[in-house]
Structure 1
Amino acid sequence: MKTLAQEHYDISLLYVEDERVTREQVSRILQRFVTELHVAENGQEGLQLYREKRPDIILTDIMMPVMDGLAMCRQIRNIDRDSQLIMLTAHSDTEYLLECISLGVNQYVQKPVDFVQLASAIETCSSYILLKRKILRQEARIQMLSQAVEQAPAPVIITSLSGSIEYVNAMFTRLTGYGPDEVLGRNPRLLKSGITPVETYEELWRTITGGDEWKGELANKHKNGSIYWETVKISPLRGTDGVITGFLKVSQDITDRKLYEEKLHYLGTHDPLTGLYNRAYFDAELQRLGAGRDFPVSVVIADIDGLKEVNDHQGHDAGDRMIKGAATVLLSAFRASDAVARIGGDEFAVLLPRTDHEAVTAVIQRLRNGESDPNLGIFARHLSLGAATAKESTELHNVIKSADRLMYADKTKRRRFRKGVPLIPEQ
């Protein structure tokens, strides 16, 4: 059995005893083994000290003048139902036993004071107090973490092991438009936009179920149908035994950044006037096709006839309309897989993968047939065209020269029949 001399308790203790010799003897021992000791001579003085100091443990005699120990403890219980009460009892105090029990006295120590029994009583009460402190600290920490997650500037999702949503924070609702009651119990796939490749989700699930953290970008769909982009980190959650119990997803909205990147990419690969691909994209695509297996590859070179005259006689606005009209004519004749580019002021080029000479000749004929179109005919009639086909990569650059040469031959021939300056209609 431990004694007071063997322990130091990080507690505060109120000792109430009216008998001076006992009070001084016990106090000398107690003050060495508790962090904070308060001593009172009667119940009234003890109650006042309790209200001021709120000690962890109250050690009190029963029979005292002014206010006895039971009356004091009764009022202390009204202040704090969980106070730790140790009652000092003599054999003559047994008549008060039932009242002590009704008050919920925690421990009893016989008088004259049995210090071994007192040490055991204080140890029991201290263990309870320290456990309570630990629980309160844990609760405070959990509350703090809960508030931090709820108020975090990043969307947070917690799911079960099967992927069912168990928690979302306020930022999740702000980003997705879904409230907690709309998503709890459901799978996060309700946010899928269809843009992110299936392979990405397969890699994600394989990674986190394997116990590792996954990082990446996902395109998701807002409740209103709009698309938003996130950079995502998903981590396994583990129990005390190390077994995965669920998953934590923390993300950041990067929609503005993605839109900016897309805009930069568009500006870097497209002609601002026509919206067609630019020369840089055309050259890069030519290099890609040269290293690929999409042969035969055909090339069409087109040039606007009379653009300088239009600029000189009707102004550059009319010239711009002529360029945009020529771009529309070309786009209407080619496939979505063909790269239609503006590579100069009045010059266009088109790359047609997996297109032989016969097929590209048919495309040229479609362009010529467009000259009778009531809306686009004015622009189609002022396009000189040349086309050639490469059967393998070594022929590709020579084919561009051949198409360019044929285009100029077409321009020379058409110049004989073209009279005057083309009149570009007002918008």
Structure 2
Amino acid sequence: MSLVREQPLILVVDDDAGQRLLAGASLLQGGFSVVEAGDGEQALRVFQHEQPDAVLLDVVMPGLDGFAVCEALRRLPGGRYLPIVMVTGLDDVKSIERAYQVGATDFITKPIQWLVLHHRVRYILRANQTEETMRKLSCAVEQNPVSILITDIHGKIEYANPKFTEVSGYTLAEIRGKTPYFLQTNTLSAEEYQRLQHVIEAGSVWRGELCNRRKDGEFFWEAAHVSAIRDPNGAITHFIWLREDITARKQTEERIRFLAYYDNLTCLPNRVMLQERLREAVEAARLRSGLLAVMFLDLDQFKRINDSLGHRAGDLVLQEVARRLPDCLRHHDYVCMARPGTPLPQDLLARLGGDEFVILLTEVNQPDDVIRVAQRILTVIAKPFAVEGSEVFIGCSIGIALFPYDGADMEVLLKNADTALYHAKDRGRNTYQLYSDWMNVAAVQRLALETQLRKALENRELSLHYQPQVALESGRITGVEALLRWSSPELGAISPLDFIPIAEETGLIIPIGEWVLRTACTQARAWQQEGLPELRMAVNLSPRQCVDPELP
């Protein structure tokens, strides 16, 4: 009952006052409290008011007999699991069967052994408490938000709670007698399965994560806890599996991993994964004294597509490039896409960002293997791209660095492959270039030139030379062409062929071009003020200046 008492309260129901007196005396002697009722109607009223812990109920009474009272008690609040002991002089089988049918917990036949009555009642109360505990545990199992399986010592399923059916789609009737392994995929190795079996058979606890398959074929993840159930002697009789559905958590983890290691647009590995894999590949190649190649790939004129057709068109081109490139690799090269549970590949195709891709080729036998891959890439990328109803053409430039010849670690290999890419572009694009040491010297020189050029305008190191334009018939000067020259205090006279391309690539051509225009115009006006004849002033403009909205 829900009430907390120092002494259990027993309701004694009998139309015989003498029987009530004797029963009460026996129960009081056993440490119980007692309330009495002389008929069935009174018994129901007393029960509702007192909420006793058990009822000692006579069967044969005027009005409502014991069978009717028992049925009525079971229907009242608090009466469903109440211990009801029926007292009867009827010892025929039908009366006993009827007593149990109407809900009696137990029965006692007259004449009653008064000296042992309180022991009988105490036993019934203890058994009822045990049953109540079992009901609570059963309810906890049945309503548990975790899937629960119970198997025999051979692993055959004997019980599954409703949550298991909800998660897996299988009812207990469908899986009874099977082992829990019928759900599982190959996420655990054979060795791990053997360890699981050994652990639980030894009576220890196994914990782990399992990828299972629902009845409809869909995969789901569970965190499993497997332990043994023992009998009073310590022998294992059953195993209990607690399985929590962690599919949502695994999907979140996979999404986080994807964002950390993969490019969202192309689903190719990103710079982070490339760096990790390249470090591992370099160490593996060093141990086996082998070769590996880093190929730096950049799309030619990709900006033109973004500027003319929009960024969506550019994204579609990048996605198509990501689909084409795997077909260019060696037959055993592997391209790592985002797949749950997929092991990291030996070779790697990654997108660094923008229109830059990197291919890592491991276990290279000779440089010609890499060159053949580069040639296939150039051929495939040169094919037309269908973009939103338009057909566009692009090319690509490729820089190649080989371990160990062109670098002994990840950083140097990537830098040298990028340097080779720059020289491939400088050779006219749509080609490949193997790295060579002289390229690094040229790159250092070019960087120094760029650094000095950024200071040249401010330090007034630039000047204009004016080349006359002469009419052949008269020999008269009709105009001049302004020619830009640079004299560096550190580097000396620098040819326009060397610094103009750098100015255009870095954007310095805009402020330099503006200075050229203003200086040339100022000089032309000065000549006019000195009284010289009008001369046509010619100034060369960069293509970048022509599209500059600030052009005077």
Amino acid across the alignment from 2:400 = A
Deviation at 1:280, TM superposition (A): 1.6
Q: How high is the TM-score relative to the length of structure 2?
A: 0.57
Aligned pair partner of 2:279 in 253, 278, 287: 287
- CA deviation map 1:67-94 (0-9, x unaligned): xx9978x955885694357xxxxxxxxx
Gaps of 5+ in 2: 1-6, 48-53, 71-83, 96-106, 335-344, 432-552
Aligned pair partner of 1:367 in 377, 394, 400: 377
Q: Mark the CA change 1:12 to 1:403 in structure 2 (over 3 Å): closer, same or farther.
A: closer
Spell out the pairing of 1:43-58 with structure 2 (5 A cutoff).
Answer: none
Higher relative contact order (CA 8 A, sep 6+): 1
Gaps of 5+ in 1: 1-7, 60-68, 86-98, 110-120, 418-427
Q: Mark the CA change 1:382 to 1:131 in structure 2 (over 3 Å): closer, same or farther.
A: same
Deviation at 1:173, TM superposition (A): 0.8
Check if 1:268 corresponds to 2:282. Answer: no
Deviation at 1:49, TM superposition (A): 6.8
Contact 1:326 1:379 in 2 (8 A): no
Q: Which moved more, 1:8-17 or 1:239-248?
A: 8-17
Q: Mark the CA change 1:105 to 1:255 in structure 2 (over 3 Å): closer, same or farther.
A: closer
Structure 1 residue aligned with 2:32: 35
Structure 2 residue aligned with 1:175: 167
Identity in percent: 27
Whole-Å separation in 1 of the counterparts to 2:313 and 2:259: 24
Spell out the pairing of 1:315-394 with structure 2 (5 A cutoff).
Answer: 315-334=310-329, 335-336=333-334, 337=345, 338-356=347-365, 357-370=367-380, 373=383, 382-391=395-404, 394=408
CA RMSD of aligned residues (A): 4.1
Spell out the pairing of 1:51-200 with structure 2 (5 A cutoff).
Answer: 82-84=85-87, 106=109, 108=111, 121-200=113-192
Q: Mark the CA change 1:411 to 1:154 in structure 2 (over 3 Å): closer, same or farther.
A: same
Contact 1:386 1:410 in 2 (8 A): yes
Structure 2 residue aligned with 1:412: 426
Whole-Å separation in 1 of the counterparts to 2:27 and 2:131: 31
SS where residue 388 of structure 1 aligns? strand
Whole-Å separation in 2 of the counterparts to 1:221 and 1:265: 23
Q: Mark the CA change 1:406 to 1:131 in structure 2 (over 3 Å): closer, same or farther.
A: same
Check if 1:221 corresponds to 2:242. Answer: no
Amino acid across the alignment from 2:215 = K
Q: Mark the CA change 1:296 to 1:128 in structure 2 (over 3 Å): closer, same or farther.
A: same
Amino acid across the alignment from 2:307 = D
Contact 1:302 1:383 in 2 (8 A): yes
Q: Mark the CA change 1:416 to 1:141 in structure 2 (over 3 Å): closer, same or farther.
A: closer
Check if 1:247 corresponds to 2:257. Answer: no
Deviation at 1:361, TM superposition (A): 1.9
Whole-Å separation in 1 of the counterparts to 2:23 and 2:153: 58
Whole-Å separation in 2 of the counterparts to 1:129 and 1:27: 12
Contact 2:295 2:398 in 1 (8 A): yes
Deviation at 1:9, TM superposition (A): 9.8
Whole-Å separation in 2 of the counterparts to 1:77 and 1:232: 49
- CA deviation map 1:382-413 (0-9, x unaligned): 11112232149835544333333332222222
What count of residue pairs does the alignment treat as equivalent?
Answer: 370
Q: Mark the CA change 1:312 to 1:71 in structure 2 (over 3 Å): closer, same or farther.
A: closer
Q: Mark the CA change 1:323 to 1:133 in structure 2 (over 3 Å): closer, same or farther.
A: same
Whole-Å separation in 1 of the counterparts to 2:251 and 2:402: 38
Structure 2 residue aligned with 1:303: 298
Q: How high is the TM-score relative to the length of structure 1?
A: 0.72
SS where residue 276 of structure 1 aligns? coil
- CA deviation map 1:183-230 (0-9, x unaligned): 011111210122333333222222211111222211000011110011
Whole-Å separation in 2 of the counterparts to 1:18 and 1:283: 94
Q: Mark the CA change 1:108 to 1:314 in structure 2 (over 3 Å): closer, same or farther.
A: closer
Deviation at 1:134, TM superposition (A): 1.8
Contact 1:14 1:46 in 2 (8 A): yes
Q: Mark the CA change 1:328 to 1:414 in structure 2 (over 3 Å): closer, same or farther.
A: farther
Whole-Å separation in 2 of the counterparts to 1:399 and 1:25: 101
SS where residue 264 of structure 1 aligns? helix
Q: Which has the higher helix share?
A: 1
Spell out the pairing of 1:17-32 with structure 2 (5 A cutoff).
Answer: none
